[in-house]
Structure 1
Amino acid sequence: MATPPPTTPGSFRQLSGAQRKAFFAAWLGYLLDGFDFILITLILTEIADEFDLSLTKAATLVSAAFVSRWLGGLVLGAIGDRYGRKPAMIIAILAFSVGSGLCGFAWGYWSLFVFRALVGIGMAGEYGSSATYVMESWPKSMRNRATGFLLSAYPIGTVIAALAYEFIVPAGGWRWLFYVGIIPVALTLYLRRSLPEAAEWEQEVAGKDDVTTSSVLFSPRRRLPNAALAVVVSAALVLIFTGLAGPAAPYLIAVTVLGLAGFAVQLAGRLWPVMIAVMVTVFCAFLYSWPIQSLLPTYLKSDLGFDASQVSNALTWAGLGYAAGTCLAGVVGDKLGTRPTYVLGLFVSLAFVFPVFALPSDNIVLLWVLLFAMQATSQGISGLLPKYVGDHFPTRLRAAGLGFTYNVGALGGAVAPLAGAAIADDLGSLGTALMVLAGSLTVVVALMIGLDVPARIGRALKISSDAPALAPKERKAVSGL
């Protein structure tokens, strides 16, 4: 049975025991997601040495999980809309845990690429299903806090991964770091076996087979064409991000864009221009954040000469800043509104991006402080992103809408490490490349969110929807937009 949100919302004390248990289970699943997903960034140099890869080629292994995320967000989101948020979460955690464990058995570049793609499918499903599950189980006035506190789990997972790296890799090698990634799955599945379903989904969607995304994507007349389109888009993305596309790259990019737009039109109906605008916003958000997320360990080792212990300490402070920032963003977002808080956090982060990459290697303590502050603002503010994206879709489409939109935008995370490595080759400094990408794209994202670009497009086209972002101003105030 679903547990409805408190009738008089506003405080954690008003949440029932079942709702707290449900949140903790979702939080733990997302922690494990962060642990498994970030492992590859910690050991790029070790993998490059063993498989005789350049840094640019090794960076494509980070991109592998992003290449598959759009598919995970689409399919597992549709499952979440049709069968409930809880089963989608369970499938997602199985995918990324098994994928991580298989990475430890990789025998070369391509096997590792495929296993990382499986991790990406699971992470995409975990993000969309967990975020919608928690939002739809909590009061509307607390939903910025719900997503902010939920996303604090991801950086805690990265901190645990950094600590595991310090102790496991020097002693046993990089493969053991991946083996550890599969161990906690049993605990999470045990916790989720007794979870209630999200109240809002049960009230508005459960039992109505004809209103969810699965009825659109998997209907008999669309099933095979959509499967074929998914294969074409996936193949194009693999060729693009592994560098095998050659002169055909522009055409494959066009095929990918058209294919993803085709899914957006089916998924969102008349809301498709809004969905695509949100995708572009998220894409730019990944371009400012993921060069640092994916290449910071490499920068610390290659440019600053840090050993495993120093890298672990620096990443621990960065992860703690990220976690603290997501919680703070959630609290402030419920007070000031989602978009104003998001924009404020992005502009504050610019004060820390440039000093981080200007410090010499001997200012270790100051680097920790600056990394904490930078990640608390630039990354921590992304705790509001599920709320921001989810507000552009009605409940019946929210899991797939959030999962697909966010994870198509997350292709910016696939571009990010390649862009960072390529710019570093031109500038001769990885730190300078990260600073340029993070600084410039932060401003772009702040402007897109601050000017409310996706919702403005929806209103300009006179698209009617019960999505909160397109609601009248008085309803927006209640939703905390």
Structure 2
Amino acid sequence: MATTPPDTPNSFRRLDRSQRRAFFAAWLGYLLDGFDFILITLVLTEIAADFELSLTQASTLVSAAFVSRWLGGLVLGAIGDHLGRKPAMILAILAFSLGSGLCGFAWDYWSLFVFRAIVGIGMAGEYGASATYVMESWPTSMRNRATGFLLSAYPIGTVLAALAYEVVVPAAGWRWLFYAGIVPIALTIYLRRSLPEAAEWRERVGGRHDETTTSSVLFAPRRSVVNIALAAVLSGALVLIFSRTGGDATPYLVALSVLCLTAFAVQLAGRSWPVMLAITFTVFCAFLYSWPIQSLLPTYLKTELGYDAGAVSTALTWAGLGYAAGSCLAGVVGDKLGTRRAYVLGLFASLAFVFPVFALPAGNVVLLWVLLFAMQATSQGISGLLPKFIGDHFPTRLRAASLGFSYNVGALGGAVAPLAGAAIAEEFGSLGSALTTLSVSLTVVVALIIGLDLPARLGRALRVPADAPALSTPERKASSGS
């Protein structure tokens, strides 16, 4: 039976066998999550040709996963809070694996849109379930390392997807790349049979039915029908927005979506709903500074610097490796300095590399690799601390759904980011200038929010009753660093 993780400082070598197994299983699941999620971006041109779509319409298939991420974070998070972190993680892997495999059988645009939405449900659930599972299985003094090391898996999954694309698609076509996405289902058999439940959830929540959890709030008899209707309305609005079929009604659909999401946040967080909205806004801004570069960097390298596909692939590989290395480093630094201090340090350090990356002229290939590695290590890599930062604002009994919901609603910034980057590029006449402007300005905004501890300050100012670490104990007094 799992025991409570010790609160004393520790190292990876001193973790027991079950804690190591818990980490590696979650890490592998998150790697496969990154692999499955990024596949669509690699084969957009092939899909557009097969289904006779414009590239603009085909690109909305990337956003299809964002339509359902809020739902995956909420529902699978609620399952994680009620039944345990492990079953939620298993269901998440099943969802994104099944969705990816179904993409290979898609017969038109809308079938592929729906299957991508299933991938989004699984991806969202995997983020919240894996992060809470590893955090609550490891000692509190190592929880920044737990999330930092865990999130290093995602960019490695994207690199493996790019390598698979080069091998599979020329030989067998784009559908076989999605069929390969079914492979992670095998991992769920191992998870179900071999892993213990997260120790902290088991001790504080497991087997208890007298405390309020996210599932008891969302699925209460008097609320369940209303919440199902609310979810249907919200899903329909998001589909119209992200498929770009809303027409002149799009501004009203956006307003409706915001109201629906706020209604869920109020139910989920109770009196601390302003804290949840503040966390969601922080994540939204974080996606706005990072995702324009993630999504538009290949276009910038090809159009403004004139690099060929091979050079772009190599550059993105170095950027992905920087992301992975930075996530691990962020975890180590976070456990030494505290989550917020390390996060702010990493964000400001990233500004030293953003300007050189987009000021570098074509031809300096090796220097470009070095700068991209360093920029992504500090800018994207520091987001390895994000699950710990978010999770500290919610108690254990509400943590999985609250983390999953606030993160994945904030992740809608990832869908807005490419549009914002393209719009600013039209104004400036340069994509590089647009990416620099977005990255620098939003990085400063996020650094100020986290550095000034605004979500927790808001909660304390409103006298929100909570046993969440960030609200009950200032970071400077926390030996584990929050």
Matched, 1:198 2:198: yes
In structure 2, the partner of 1:283 is: 284
Normalised to the residue count of structure 2, the TM-score between the two structures is 0.95
* Counterpart Cα distance in 2 of 1:185 and 1:299: 36
Alignment partner of 1:431: what SS? helix
Q: Is the 8 A contact 2:81 2:213 kept in 1?
A: yes
Q: 1:303 to 1:177 in 2, by over 3 A?
A: farther
Verify the 8 A CA contact 1:60 1:414 in the aligned structure 2.
no
Equivalent in the alignment of 2:228: 227
Q: Which amino acid aligns with 2:175?
A: R
> What corresponds to 2:369 in structure 1?
368
Gap change, CA 1:371 and 1:475, over 3 Å in 2: closer
Deviations 1:39-65 (CA, angstroms, capped at 9, x unpaired): 222333443444444444333222111
Moved more, 103-112 or 205-214: 103-112
Superposition pairs of residues 135-174 of structure 1, within 5 angstroms: 135-174=135-174
Aligned counterpart, 2:12: 12
Q: Which moved more, 1:361-370 or 1:213-222?
A: 361-370
One-letter code aligned to 2:322: G
Find the counterpart in structure 1 of residue 60 from structure 2.
Answer: 60
Q: Which amino acid aligns with 2:200?
A: E
AA at the equivalent of 1:157 = G
Residue identity matched to 2:198: A
**Amino acid in the other structure paired with 1:344:** L
The Cα shift of 1:431 comes to 3.4
Describe how 1:332-411 pairs up with structure 2 within 5 A: 332-411=333-412
What CA distance in whole angstroms lies between the structure 2 residues aligned with 1:435 and 1:60? 24
The amino acid that maps onto 1:88 is A
Is there any run of 5+ residues in structure 1 with no aligned partner, and where? none
CA positional deviation for 1:305: 4.5
Distance 1:55 1:295 in 2: 14
Q: Structure 1's 211 and 350: CA in aligned 2 closer, same or farther, altered over 3 A?
A: same
C-alpha distance after superposition, 1:430-480 (max 9, x if no partner): 433333222221111111111111111111111121101111337852241
1:74 paired residue number:
74
| 1:323/1:386 CA distance change after superposition, 3 Å | same
Q: Which stretch of the first structure deviates more once superposed, 349-358 or 318-327?
A: 349-358
Contact 1:166–1:308 under 8 Å retained in 2? no
Deviation at 1:113, TM superposition (A): 1.7
User: What whole-Å deviation, never above 9, does each CA across 1:11-42 have from its counterpart, x for those lacking one?
Assistant: 12221011101110000000000111112223
Deviations 1:53-88 (A, max 9, x none): 444433322211112100000000000000000000
Tell me the residue number matched to 2:418. Answer: 417
Cα distance in 1, alignment partners of residues 176 and 359 from structure 2: 34
Which AA in structure 2 matches 1:349? S
| Equivalent in the alignment of 2:108 | 108
Could you say if the C-alpha distance between residues 218 and 418 of structure 1 is closer, same or farther in structure 2, counting changes exceeding 3 Å?
same
In the alignment, is the contact (CA less than 8 A) between 1:329 and 1:383 conserved in 2?
yes
Paired with 1:409 and 1:207, the residues of 2 have a C-alpha distance of 32
SS of equivalent residue, structure 1 residue 189 = helix
3-state SS, counterpart of residue 380 of structure 2: helix
Counterpart contact for 2:145–2:328, Cα < 8 Å: yes
Normalising by structure 1, what TM-score? 0.95
Distance 1:395 1:270 in 2: 16
CA distance in 2, matches of 1:252, 1:320: 38
**Offset at 1:302?**
4.4
- The alignment of Structure 1 onto Structure 2 pairs a total of residues equal to 481
| Structure-2 residue corresponding to 1:124 | 124
Aligned pair in 2 of structure 1 residues 140, 54: CA closer, same or farther (>3 Å)? Answer: same
- Tell me the SS of whatever aligns to 2:316: helix
Tell whether the 8 Å contact from 2:6 to 2:140 is kept in structure 1 after alignment: no
Contact 2:73/2:405 (CA < 8 Å) preserved in 1?
yes
* Stretch of structure 1 that moved more, 356-365 or 286-295: 356-365
Shift of 1:303: 4.2
In 1, Cα distance between the equivalents of 2:369 and 2:179?
29
In the other structure, the counterpart of 2:266 is 265
The residue that corresponds to 1:251 in the other structure is 252
CA distance in 2, matches of 1:304, 1:168: 28
Distance in 1 between residues matched to 2:428 and 2:57, nearest whole Å: 18
Which stretch shows the higher mean deviation, 102-111 or 376-385?
102-111
Deviation sequence 1:301-324 (CA, Å, 0-9, x none): 444444443333222111110010
Measured at CA, do residues 416 and 474 of structure 1 come closer, stay the same or move farther in structure 2, by a change above 3 Å? closer
Q: Indicate conservation of the 8 Å contact 2:93/2:184, yes or no.
A: no
Alpha-carbon shift at residue 6 of structure 1 (Å): 3.5
CA distance in 1, matches of 2:356, 2:178: 33
What is the alpha-carbon distance in structure 1 between the residues aligned to residue 7 and residue 403 of structure 2?
A: 26
Find the residue that maps to 1:193 and give its secondary structure.
Answer: helix
Provide the residue aligned with 1:438 in structure 2.
439
Q: Is the 8 A contact 1:3 1:196 kept in 2?
A: no
* Residues 58-67 or 94-103, more deviating: 58-67
Contact 2:169/2:176, CA 8 A, preserved across alignment: yes
Contact 1:284 1:441 in 2 (8 A): yes
What one-letter code is carried by the residue in structure 1 that aligns with 2:102? Answer: L
1:392-418 C-alpha deviation (Å, 9 max, x unpaired): 000000000101111111111111223
SS at match of 2:226: helix
Secondary structure of residue in 2 paired with 1:462: coil
